[in-house]
């Protein structure tokens, strides 16, 4: 087993407009990207559970092969900078994803 944070080259969060937060996970080795993509572990169900939100709050979950990465975009609980805000830029909301455990024999070697 490995944590996503250990094998990803970039794992970040950021606002995508004031009403959404988007998580980007990018790899620098094609085989790591493929293994994660093929593992079937990156699902809306899993992300929703990790972030304690409804699956319907996840607006996109898309893999993009040319960039060796996937993106998850979710609804913000409050719009950026409004009352109740914790992270105006949404730049530190990636931490739960770092700890997501993914497989994998190829990585353990």
Footprint on this chain of another protein (rule: CB under 8 A): 10, 14-20, 22, 24, 26, 28, 51-52, 56-57, 59-60, 62, 64, 66-71, 73, 75-76, 79-89, 92-93, 95-96, 99
Q: Which is nearer to another protein, 18 or 38 (CB)?
A: 18
- State the nearest-atom distance from the C-beta of 52 to another protein, in Å: 6
Can you give the length of the chain in residues? 109
Spatial neighbors of 84 by CB under 8 A, at least 6 apart, are 77, 78
Determine how many CB atoms are found less than 10 A away from the CB of residue 26: 16
Edge-to-edge order in the sheet of strand 69-75: 10-15, 20-26, 69-75, 58-64
- State the nearest-atom distance from the C-beta of 108 to another protein, in Å: 23
- Residue 51 CA to residue 82 CA, distance in Å, equals 20
Q: Which is nearer to another protein, 80 or 103 (CB)?
A: 80
Q: Which is nearer to another protein, 6 or 81 (CB)?
A: 81
């Amino acid at each position: 087993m490995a944590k996503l944070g250990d094998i990803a080259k970039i794992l970040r969060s950021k606002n995508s407009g004031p009403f959404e937060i988007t998580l980007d996970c990018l790899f620098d080795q094609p085989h790591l990207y493929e293994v994660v993509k093929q593992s079937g572990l990156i699902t809306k169900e899993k992300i929703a559970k990790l972030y304690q939100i409804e699956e319907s709050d996840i607006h996109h979950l898309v893999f993009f092969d040319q960039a060796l990465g996937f993106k998850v975009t979710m609804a913000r609980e409050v719009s950026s900078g409004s009352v109740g805000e914790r992270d105006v830029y949404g730049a530190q909301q990636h931490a739960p994803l770092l700890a997501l455990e993914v497989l994998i024999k190829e990585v353990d070697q």
